[in-house]
Chain A
Amino acid sequence: MYPHERSLVARLKDEPFALIGINSDEDLEKLKPTLAKENISWRSFWNGAKGTAGPISTSWGVSSWPTIYVLDETGTIRFINVREQKLDEAVDTLLAELKAKRADGK
């Protein structure tokens, strides 16, 4: 997953776009070398020391990883569990919509 996320973030760095993680590792100290090595620059919430049983994933009912939601600029859920190419297409669709709305002055 990391290379794909990295390229998405790099490609859209000047667009109104953000990749936000909810990280479910139990031990942040063990995770930190990976953040540097994999150049994980995007921001993540930490799900807490209970890992996959942490409060954010529990309240969202997440029981498989990764789980992905794509939200538009109003925070509305538009796509769920799209990956790779489909994820890129979903984000590009929403960015195009957003630009069209802004061009219309909405």
Chain B
Amino acid sequence: MLSKFALSLLAAAALGLSLDGAADVARIREEFRKKQADAAARSDAALTGGWLDTLWKAAADAKDDDARFGALLLAQQVADFGSTESCKEWRGKVREEILSRFADDAKRMGDLLRVAGTPQTREALLARTKNKSIQATCLWVEASGYLATLRREKLSEEAAKRLDELMALLRTDYKDELDSKGRRFGDVVEGKLRQMNDLVVGKVAPEIEGKDLDGAPFKLSDYRGKIVVLDFWGNW
């Protein structure tokens, strides 16, 4: 039988451990932030290896899923950042741990794609998740990569074909899934396709009907006969 005193000591030790884990994660997050622009840190096996060991332990000891996911997400970023063989092994190991626990958690997987969305991680998540909204997000992130390339240069035949495929999936099977801002992927993709195909020099701009900032209704076509500068703006 343990005395009350011994129990409270044990509880304090357990609490101390998890607090230390959280403090370690916070410390590494700060150090990592400072080193991200430092190319030499990528191949510094002692630095990234030390971080990864500590983060892995913090994840194992974490008091809840928020703390666990936070430690693992940072570990994934560190492993993706490092260029050593050991980091390459960690990448798969950390990714597997994240996906085995959180692959169907839309909010956390949105965070994963945003801060550690390498093609490898995105593909692994798409293959693993059963959540349709996460699948749609994976497809859209991939499509967005091609769209960004397309603004600078022509796509390879293979990439252009894949982009068509992704857009077709998003406007059919996934059209009612919502993006992180609450928009239907169907609407987002239709808009993007309209921008690429119809909102080009030489075509007539589509009608806009809406209300002005005082609530009065008006239409873009009210201004036919005038030269119009249409300015999508915001005060930020």
Contacts and interface: CB of A to CB of B under 8 A. Distances in A.
Interface of A: 1, 5, 8, 15-25, 28, 31-32, 34-35, 43-46, 50-53, 56-63, 65-80, 87, 91, 94-95, 98
Contact of B231 (A16, A20, A50, A79): A20
Interface residues of B, number: 43
Interface of B: 179, 181-183, 187-188, 190-196, 199-206, 208, 210-213, 218, 220-221, 223-236
A60 B195 contact: yes
B234 A51 contact: yes
Contacts of B200: 77, 80
In order of increasing CB-CB distance, the 8 nearest A-B pairs are: A61-B195, A53-B181, A61-B191, A45-B210, A24-B234, A67-B232, A71-B228, A69-B230
Contacts of A53: 179, 181-183
Nearest to A70: B229
29 contacts: A8-B229, A17-B227, A18-B226, A18-B228, A19-B229, A20-B231, A21-B232, A22-B231, A32-B213, A34-B235, A43-B213, A45-B211, A50-B181, A50-B183, A53-B179, A53-B181, A53-B182, A58-B187, A58-B188, A60-B191, A60-B195, A61-B191, A61-B196, A71-B205, A71-B227, A75-B221, A75-B228, A80-B199, A91-B227
B213 A70 contact: no
B213 A28 contact: yes
Contact of B193 (A28, A45, A61): A61
Contacts of A80: 199-201
Contacts of B201: 77-80
Nearest to A98: B227
Given A53-B181, A61-B194, A70-B227, A25 B234 contact: yes
Contacts of B213: 23, 28, 31-32, 35, 43-44, 46
A49 B44 CA distance: 48
Contacts, number: 165
A35 B234 CA distance: 11
Given A61-B192, A61-B193, A91-B227, A22 B204 contact: no
A46 B229 contact: no
A20 B221 CA distance: 11
Contacts of A87: 229
B227 A20 contact: no
A74 B224 contact: yes
Given A24-B232, A35-B213, A65-B233, A16 B225 contact: yes
A101 B223 CA distance: 18
A53 B188 CA distance: 9
A17 B235 contact: no
Contacts of A20: 220, 223, 228-231
